[in-house]
Chains A and B, each alone.
Chain A
Amino acid sequence: MTAAILLFIVNLIFKGFLIGKTPNSLSLSEIDLLRRFNVYPAIGDYSFRYLAVIMSAAISLLTFYFIYRQTKNFWLAIAVVLSLTFAPYLFILSRFLNVYIAFLFLIAAGLALLPNNKLKYLAIIILVFAFSDRRIVSADLNDLFKILDLRNLFFAGDTVSSVLHIPLTGFFMYVDLFFLFAGWYFLYLKKGAEKLVNPLNFLFATGIVFYFLSTSSSLNTYRGLLIFYYLSIVIGSGYYFLARNRLLPLIIIIVLANIVFYQELAYNHFDKKSSFEWGYAEQATIQYFNNRHLSQPLILSKSSAGKLDRYVNFFSNTNFKTKTLTVNQMKKTCVKNSSNYCLVREDELPYFGLAKDDIKLVFRYYDGLPMYFLLPTR
């Protein structure tokens, strides 16, 4: 029990470290989710994300309990928890608020707390249907092979979008490839944990079903979640099997090296590579105008309003309003020497007789992609 609690704390620290730094802005899906629960944080306040961290840590704890109850093998349970602690897909899912971490938490809870296999299976089926679209979203087998593809699992990650993709990292660490095969060998050929096999097979089968029924947001990180959970347990079994065969020092070194490598990529490069999806320019824009204490609404063109408005109207400490005008209206309002702040997109500049180089203040995404141009009215 002490070990399990210790691992829970390790999870909290590992996944909660600098929670506001990476990602350091909110995605639109996170905003939508918070709105549903009437949570409106201040800009720069990411404390709500600790809920995801706690659920993720709880997943590890519950999985420990499940494995231990099934196999009575303490070290096997520890190894699986370690696999879940350091898995990149779970790390990134723990860094922002989302329903899928809650889904996985409930799955792990069902496996750990329900008394017999039949109830566990029933619980998993109910949860799968509750969290899915309850219709076949995509029946393309090719997509499934993409998710089960070894390269995508260990090197390429989510090929659908980079929004949840740690650069140069797969859903699992590179070295986990060897532990995956070792884990399969241990579980299925050596029959090292027979009581785990049936629940794991069921988990994998339901994972396939969930993949085809899951929401039309279509990120592989979400759709493949149950499959990844299954693979994490197999990989953990691989850690246990190889560590048992006197390879523990080597395993520690290579796993630690891989963790350090991908953590550097996660903290220093993740949201920079997908700053568009994480609203980097939008938050920078809001922070800039918050500091200006605007007396009049910020004027937005119709094409710049959509995404920016959702951010402006979300944060609790946004101290200005916005007003959306057509380009023709802006031509009358956003004249020189007026006191208005007016934002447009790059393709609208010619309507004002301006070019890119005429603009002094541009709000960009991290990679330099310009998003909002401040007209020179003041």
Chain B
Amino acid sequence: MNNKKTTLILLFLILILGCFLRFYKLGSIPPGPEWDEASVGYNAYSIAQTGRDEWGNKLPLIFPAFGDYKNPLYIYLTAGVVKLFGLNIATTRFINTLTGSLLILVWFFIADLIFKNKKISLLTAFLLAVSPFGIYYSRIAGDGMMLSVFLIGAGLLAELYFLKTKRLLLCIISILLLILSMFSYNLARIVSPLLMLAVFIINFISVKTNRRWFVIPLVIFLLALFIIYKQSAISLSSRFQYVGIFGQKKGVVLQINEFRDHDKNNLLSKIFHNKVTFFGITLSSNYLAMFSSDFLVNFKHQTDVSESFWPPLHLILLPFYYLGLIFLISKIAGSRNRRERLSYLLLLILILVAPISSAITEGGSGKRDLAALGTWEILSAYAAVYLLGRKKLLTTIVIIILAVNLYAYFKFFYYTYPRDYGQIYAARENKICGLEKQNYSRFDYFIVPRKIDNVSYIFPLFCQQYSPLKYRQERQFTTKDGWFIVNRFDKYLFVDDTTAKDLAGLKLKNKTVAVFMNADERNLFVLQPKKLRFIPVLPVLKYNDVSLYMFSMKL
């Protein structure tokens, strides 16, 4: 395709499509905010208002939040958006949505630099625009996932431009972008250093002149590592123990003990069944899973928030993905142009490094393989253009099947998913928050049970845009196993249970309180001796087959 204007128009249209798919009903698809989104949003609001996070830390390098220690960059960028447009779901998600849209452009240019074929570049951009993972992770804000992926992609792009132009500034920009990605989401702390290492080695070997100037990006990198080390000393180790596979109480260690028990702990079992062999097998298995058909076209996480309900690849693209990988490897082996070979190699390194963060954590997770977003599309596009070429009939069949795949996905994501899966997105907590807002002046206290989660306090803070200064002065909290448990602030009390005894123990004599319960809690409550009179405030509220009750009582 030689016509530059046509390419630009097509790219523009693809970008519009991608933006539309990401921005359309941003505040309600998926519903929310969920717990992490509310936390991110409120901390951003707190920074925007006071320069401190919810715990009063001034411009922190890491945000304690619930005790899960969130990365800072996304929150700071969101603070800017919240400052301008106020705190709501859309503004909380905005940065991920924006970077998710810009990622389309990034990968267009990456494909253009590597393959020098406009068809491949445009198809890559299109596939990314309609990518299930691309769309989903651009629409949630539990962490800076898409921001991180964008920065990794942009870093790779800058490095590719450096290889083309030999301008050192681009190498520095590449390193800076990769470093910034490490402050956005934890997966980048595995992926980006490895990419940077590859960048250093490739640049040092391939660029013959001005090698001493590479000291500059190296110094920047070492400085960043030091900051990250300082920042992560506590947070990373606790996070890793929580999700990593290496802990003493984790499945792998338990398995080793079980197998040694079979062998009565003899010498042979110690040789065969130890951490080296078992962790090696588990890591290899987890790593390979990210390249496997079961993950690429089957993966559907239906119970966890922040996990896509649709696999990363549309079904028809699966053979193209594998073929694209084979073609890429053969290109590296067969290419005689050094710069070309290095470009292919960089892409392959990203493909190989991206699944590592998922491999070292327990349980299958799409979000931890998100660094591979873009690679699935570029490989599929490469193979599709190469194989389909001028075969009109075959191309038509593939397009029809892809259209069917897309229809099924869009129907699910924009219609079925928000209707049927709202309960995963803290629907209960958000409904409670709405009721609290409506009835604020009628009650002296609002009592919310913590049966479902320990962090329901964040929702009244978020939905009422509660003053961070006032919150920090009023709140009462405890800590348990590293998590922060807020018990009360203002009119809001958060209790473990809503039994009559627990409520009586709150010592709120002659106060009118509103109590929220689900069906189980209500059934338990009504069975108890009627020491307290309670009146339903409203008919039972039903959402996604869950019932929510609100009672008024005088204690």
Chain A positions within 8 Å of B, measured between CB atoms, are 141-142, 145-146, 148-152, 154-156, 167-168, 174, 177, 189, 261, 264-265, 268-269, 272
Contacts and interface: CB of A to CB of B under 8 A. Distances in A.
Contacts of B295: 149, 151
A268 B330 CA distance: 42
Interface in B253-269: 259, 262-263, 268-269
Interface string B290-316: 011111011000000000000000010
Contacts of A168: 278, 281
Nearest to B297: A145
B293 A148 contact: yes
Contact of A155 (B277, B281, B291, B297): B281
Contacts of B268: 264
A154 B262 contact: no
A167 B255 CA distance: 10
A268 B263 contact: yes
Minimum-distance CB pairs A-B, first 6? A149-B294, A155-B285, A145-B293, A151-B289, A149-B292, A150-B292
B288 interface: yes
B259 to A, nearest CB: 6
A146 B298 contact: yes
A149 B288 CA distance: 9
Contacts of A148: 293
Contact of B285 (A142, A156, A264): A156
B277 A268 contact: no
A268 B298 contact: no
Contacts of B269: 268
Interface of B: 259, 262-263, 268-269, 272, 277-278, 281, 284-285, 288-289, 291-295, 297-298, 315, 330
The interface centre, meaning the residue of B277, B289, B294 with most chain A CB atoms within 10 A of its CB, is B294
Contacts of A261: 272, 277
B372 to A, nearest CB: 15
Nearest to A146: B294
25 contacts: A141-B315, A142-B297, A145-B294, A145-B298, A146-B293, A146-B298, A148-B293, A149-B289, A149-B292, A149-B293, A149-B294, A149-B298, A151-B288, A151-B289, A151-B295, A154-B288, A155-B281, A156-B285, A167-B259, A168-B278, A261-B272, A268-B263, A268-B269, A269-B259, A269-B262
Contacts of A146: 293-294, 298
B524 to A, nearest CB: 27
Nearest to A184: B326
Contacts of A141: 315
Contact of A150 (B262, B281, B293): B293
Contacts of A264: 268, 272
Contacts of B330: 189
B404 to A, nearest CB: 13
Contact of B288 (A145, A155, A265): A155
Contact of B262 (A142, A145, A174, A272): A272
A177 to B, nearest CB: 7
Contact of B291 (A150, A174, A268): A150
Contacts of B284: 155, 174
A177 B289 CA distance: 13
B281 A151 contact: no
Contacts of A150: 288-289, 291-293
Contacts of B272: 261, 264-265
A152 B277 contact: no
Given A268-B262, A269-B259, A174 B292 contact: no
Contacts of B278: 168
Nearest to B294: A149
Contacts of A167: 259
Nearest to A261: B272
Nearest to A366: B262
Contacts of A151: 285, 288-289, 292, 294-295
The interface centre, meaning the residue of A149, A269, A272 with most chain B CB atoms within 10 A of its CB, is A149
B298 A142 contact: yes
A370 to B, nearest CB: 18
Contacts of A189: 330
Contacts of A155: 281, 284-285, 288
Given A145-B293, A155-B284, A269-B259, 14 more contacts: A142-B297, A146-B293, A146-B298, A149-B289, A149-B293, A149-B295, A150-B288, A151-B294, A152-B292, A167-B259, A177-B288, A261-B277, A264-B272, A268-B263
A34 to B, nearest CB: 28
